[in-house]
Amino acid sequence: MNLHATLLLFLAPLIVTIVHARLFADDFIRLPSEKSHSVGTRWAVLLAGSNGYWNYRHQSDVCHAYQLLKNGGIKDENIIVFMYDDIANNEENPRPGIIINHPDGDDVYHGVPKDYTGEDVTVDNFFAVLLGNKTAVKGGSGKVVNSGPNDHIFIYYSDHGGPGVLGMPTSPYLYANDLIDVLKKKHASGTYKSLVFYLEACESGSIFEGLLPQGLNIYATTASGPDESSWGTYCPGEHPSAPEEYDTCLGDLYSVAWMEDSEVHNLQTETIQQQYHLVKERTSNGNGNYGSHVMQFGDLQLSKEELYLYLGTNPANENFTYINSNSLRSSSKAVNQRDADLLHFWHKYQKAPEGSARKIESRKQFAEAMAHRMHVDSSIKLLGKVLFGIEKGPEVLNEVRPAGQPLVDDWDCLKTFVRTFETHCGSLSQYGMKHMRSIANFCNAGITKEQMMEASSQACPTFPSNSWSSLGNGFSA
Q: What is the mean pLDDT of residues 393-400?
A: 97
pLDDT for 333? 64
Q: Which residues of 413-424 are buried (b: 16+ CB within 10 A; e: fewer)?
A: bbbbbbbbbbeb
By annotation, the residues acting in catalysis are: 160, 202
For the stretch 96-114, pLDDT in tens is: 999 999 999 999 999 999 9
Q: What is the pLDDT of residue 343?
A: 83
Separation CA 147–CA 312 (nearest Å)? 16
pLDDT exceeds 60 at position 192: yes
pLDDT band at 306 (very low <50, low <70, confident <90, very high): very high
Please give the model's pTM, rounded to 2 decimal places: 0.90
Burial class (CB in 10 A: 0-12, 13-18, 19+), 363: middle
How far CA 72 is from CA of 112, 263, 391, in Å, comes to 15, 10, 57
Query: Average pLDDT in the 163-172 region?
Result: 97
Q: What is the mean pLDDT of residues 434-449?
A: 98
Q: What is the mean pLDDT of the chain?
A: 90
- Residue 36: pLDDT above 80? no
Over residues 29-46, the mean pLDDT reads: 65
**Predicted pLDDT of residue 346:** 85
In this structure, the strands spanning 152-158 and 42-48 are parallel
User: What does the pLDDT read at residue 289?
Assistant: 67
Residue 68 has pLDDT above 80, yes or no: yes
